[in-house]
Amino acid sequence: MEQKRLMKLRKNMAKHRPSFRRVESWRYVRVKDPWRKARGIDSRTRIKSKSGVKSPSVGYRGPKKVRGLHPSGYVEIRVVSIEDLKNLNNKIHALKISSKLGAKKRMLLIDYAQNRGFKVLNIGTSQKELEDLESMLESSFDDEEFDDLEEELKDD
């Protein structure tokens, strides 16, 4: 209950948080946009004047108990193999499967994780690919079917 309240608070704080831009990045092409601390001797931003750009500070941080959590409220964990799941709790952790895994190992890992009750965050677009691969593995071709397919492809 407490965590849900803090997650809502964090989301609300994020709406009101300004986008911190590097001073004069909107004015010159050579000045890139990511935040850098203002160091000029007459800088309005460094002095924290009302007319200056807002600077990041401690007051803009979210609640400590929910800091760094996924918006779903779980702790994100990057997973490469089944061994990585051994010491994890499905009530606390949500999984992001490494993009370096191939489709076969990825499919096995997703099956294993979902059977254990874990939430997998990045099934996403590859879900269709996984279903296609699964159906391909289930329907193994006989030699005659394979020859028929080859002939059809040659005719086209």
For 63-79, the pLDDT digits (tens) are: 999 999 999 999 999 99
Q: Is the pLDDT of residue 82 over 80?
A: yes
| Structure confidence at residue 147 (pLDDT) | 66
| Structure confidence at residue 146 (pLDDT) | 60
Q: Is the pLDDT of residue 22 over 90?
A: yes
Determine the average pLDDT of the residues in 108-130: 82
What is the average pLDDT score of the chain?
A: 87
Q: Is the pLDDT of residue 141 over 60?
A: no
| Structure confidence at residue 52 (pLDDT) | 86
Closest CA to 35 of 25, 22, 49: 22
User: Whole-angstrom Cα distance, residue 62 to residue 13?
Assistant: 7
Helices marked H in 1-156:
2-16, 44-47, 103-115, 126-138, 143-155
Closest CA to 126 of 103, 96, 100: 103
User: Whole-angstrom Cα distance, residue 49 to residue 113?
Assistant: 52
The answer to whether 88 touches 68, Cβ cutoff 8 Å, is no
